[in-house]
Amino acid sequence: MRRFITASCLLLAGLLGQASMAWANEPIIIRFSHVVADSTPKGQGALLFQKLVHERLGGKVKVEVYPNSSLFGDADELAALQNNEVQILAPSMAKFSNLSPGVQVFDLPFLFDDQAAVERFERRPHGKALLLSMVDQNIVGLAFWHNGMKQLSSSRPLQKPSDAQNLTFRIQPSSVLEAQFHAVGANSARLPFSQLRDALINGKVHGAENPWSNIHSQQLDQLQPWITESNHGFLNYMLVTNPRFWYSLPYQTRSELEVIIDEVSWSVNQAAQKLNAHDRDRVLEAGKAQLVTLSAEERAAWRQAMRPVWRRFREQIGDELIQAAIRSNGI
């Protein structure tokens, strides 16, 4: 009898051993889904992450990249992350509006002067804390990735705020952005990024707000005759994962992934400005859309028109957070 038990135990141990070895031999799959083109700062970042993981952790971890909403789109990607159907996303801040009110600070119009200010805010405690603000919803931020300053494209030239009156702009799912367009007498339609082109083609919307990289990669300049260089806001992303998945990874693997993410984030954020400048040049060279530039006084008028949005969201976002963001404009 004892011999039987010992033999059974050995068999079971052997089977379990085989099973865990089989598990250990399977590469860990990380699906990285996003909604923009490969050529954009986010698209390039996802591909660099895939490349570095392949070079340094090949065999142990495999990254699959799904650009252009090819796996999940704006409407379902966060739920897919929470359910572990996808393991990494980099949604723009507006997409977290319902999950973390503080994150809405990034969408307040004319708040950050430039990318350097956004970076200072993110490095300091108030900004950094936002990475952990959705942990109870099974989402944790790993890094901030930049795109660039947003410009207004439209069916007619927008020189002064009242020129936007009664136009409908496509917006991301955000009450702040809704209020921003409302402040200049315009309407807005919340639409997933993947529906933007169609909405412009079929006249559902007359305008949009995007950084140059998204304008160029979506060829919005072919659809919109005017682009106002308003620099009225900043499109920024949070690279997120699902903490249940992330903290189940073997410690060594997770640490190596985190080192890669730091390197990739640095590279994305270094390249973002250059890439947007390059895409701006390409749009202007193509000569389809006409550029509208704003004088200092005209830009001040847009700022003044949109500024009441800050007050309206002060309570929801938190005054301390807004003040911290304002301070980041100084050195």
For strand 207-210 and strand 151-154, is the pairing parallel, antiparallel, or unpaired? antiparallel
Enumerate residues 6+ apart whose C-beta is below 8 A from 307.
109, 110
Decide if residue 35 touches ligand LMR (CB under 6 A): yes
Decide if residue 175 touches ligand LMR (CB under 6 A): no
Decide if residue 153 touches ligand LMR (CB under 6 A): no
Instruction: Kindly report the backbone phi and psi dihedral angles of residue 83, in degrees, each rounded to the nearest multiple of 5, phi listed first.
Output: -90, 5
Decide if residue 147 touches ligand LMR (CB under 6 A): yes
Q: In what order do the strands lie in the sheet with 61-66?
A: 61-66, 28-33, 88-89, 234-241, 140-149
What gap in Å lies between CA 173 and CA 170, rounded to an integer?
Answer: 10
Nearest distance in Å: CB 221, ligand LMR: 16
Which candidate, 37, 65, 47, 42, places its Cα nearest to that of 268?
A: 42
Nearest distance in Å: CB 171, ligand LMR: 8
Q: Residue with CB nearest ligand LMR?
A: 92
Per-residue interface string for the shown chain with ligand LMR, residues 287-326, x marking contact by CB under 6 A: ----------------------------------------
Decide if residue 174 touches ligand LMR (CB under 6 A): no
Decide if residue 36 touches ligand LMR (CB under 6 A): yes
DSSP 110: T
Per-residue interface string for the shown chain with ligand LMR, residues 196-235, x marking contact by CB under 6 A: ------------------x--------------------x
Closer Cβ to ligand LMR, 36 or 292, answer by number: 36
Which candidate, 285, 286, 304, places its Cα nearest to that of 294?
A: 304
The residues that touch ligand LMR, with contacts defined as CB under 6 A, are 35-36, 92, 147, 172, 193, 214, 235
